[in-house]
A and B are shown apart, each in its own frame.
Chain A
Amino acid sequence: MYCLCSDKSFDEIIAQQSEARLPLNKFFDTFTDCTTTGCGSCIEPLTAELSINDLLIPESHE
C-alpha cells in the first residue's frame, strides 16, 4: 500500500524501520506524517505490517 500523506510506500516505510528499529511512536514521527500533518488512516495497517515483520517495538522497550 501507499501512504498518501507520507508520500511513501509501506515497503519503503517498513524498510526504514528494519534499519532503525524505533519504538512505535518514534517510528510514526520519524518515518511517516501519519501522526503530524497526515490523516492517520495508515496508522492501523502500518502497525499491523510492523507486527507481521517482527518490527513492532513497544514504547516500554525504548
Chain B
Amino acid sequence: MIYPKLFLDMEAARWNLANDIPWQNFNADKLSDRQLHGIKMNALLEWAAAPAVAMFLRDNSTDPDFSAFVSIWFYEEQKHSLALLEYLRRFAPDFFPTMDEFKEVSFEFDPASPLETLGMHFCGETRLNQWYRCASDYHDEPVIKSIYATLAADEARHARAYFQYMKQAVAEQGNAAKLHFAKIAVLMTNPRVNPALHPTNLHVNQELYPRDTITSRLPDPAWLRHWLDQEIKFDLEWEKKVEKGILGNLSALFSEKLSSPAELRHYRKRLEDMNAGSPEAAMA
C-alpha cells in the first residue's frame, strides 16, 4: 500500500496558509488588473479539482489505496484555490468569483480508463509545476510570487505521488499498463494536438460538448491561452522542461530511453504491436 507513506511524506512537507505565505509583504504597486483577472481564473481552475475527485473515486472504486490518496490530493488542490482566493479577498475583493462562477466549473466527467486518467494527471501535474514556476518568475508582486512558487512545489510532489501509482500498475499489469500511459503521454507531449496540454483543457463530458472542458466554462474561456502566450510567456524553453519531465520519468517507468516525443510514439507503436500479437505479451 502506497497511501500511508505518502500521507506522512506529504504531511511533513505541508505548508500553512496563514503563516507560510508572506501576506505582510504585499505591494499593490506591482500588480495590474489583468494579473488579478489571471489569479481569479486560476483560482477557478484549481476549484475544478472537485469533479476530478468525483471521477477518480467513481472510476477507482475497487482500489482503496489510490482512493485514499485522492483525499490528500483533493485537500491540497482545494487549498491551492483557497490560497489564490484568499489573495483576492485580502487585496482585490472585486475580483473574487461569484458562486455561479464556482458552480459553472463543477460538472460531471464521463467515465474513462483509470490508468489513462492516472497517466493524464501525472502529465498534468508535471506541466502545472512548470506553469506555476513560470508564473512565479513573471509576477513582481511578492505575495503572489511566493504563492505560485509554493503551489509549484506541491504540483511536483503530486506528480511524484501519481508516478508511484503508475510504477505499481506497471509492476502488476506489465505492458497493458505501459500502453495506457504511453498513449496518454503521446497526447500530452504533442502541442499540435492541443496547445495547452492539461486536464482542464480536455473534453470530459460528451453531452456538454463543446462546453465540456474546464477552461471553456471559465468566465473568460480564452484566458488560459492568452496567459500562457502573452502574459507569463510559457515559451519553447519552458515547454522543453515539461517534455523532459514527462519523458525522463516515463523512461524510468518503461525501462526504455525516450529522448523525444517521436521516440515515445514509436515505443507506443511497438507496445501496440506486441500486445496485438500475443495476449501474454500484454502482461510481460
Contacts and interface: CB of A to CB of B under 8 A. Distances in A.
**B is a partner of A:** yes
Interface string A29-51: 00000000111111010000000
A39 B245 contact: no
Q: Is the interface of A mostly helix, strand, loop or mixed?
A: loop
Q: Is the interface of B mostly helix, strand, loop or mixed?
A: helix
Interface residues of B, number: 22
Given A40-B13, A41-B160, A42-B160, A5 B249 contact: no
Interface string B144-174: 0000010001101101110100000000000
B17 interface: no
B129 interface: yes
Contacts of A4: 126, 129-130, 156, 159-160, 245
Contact of A39 (B130, B157, B244, B251): B157
B248 interface: yes
Contact of B249 (A2, A38, A40, A44): A2
**Nearest 6 pairs between A and B by C-beta?**
A2-B248, A39-B156, A41-B160, A39-B153, A39-B157, A1-B252
Interface of A: 1-2, 4-5, 7, 9-10, 37-42, 44
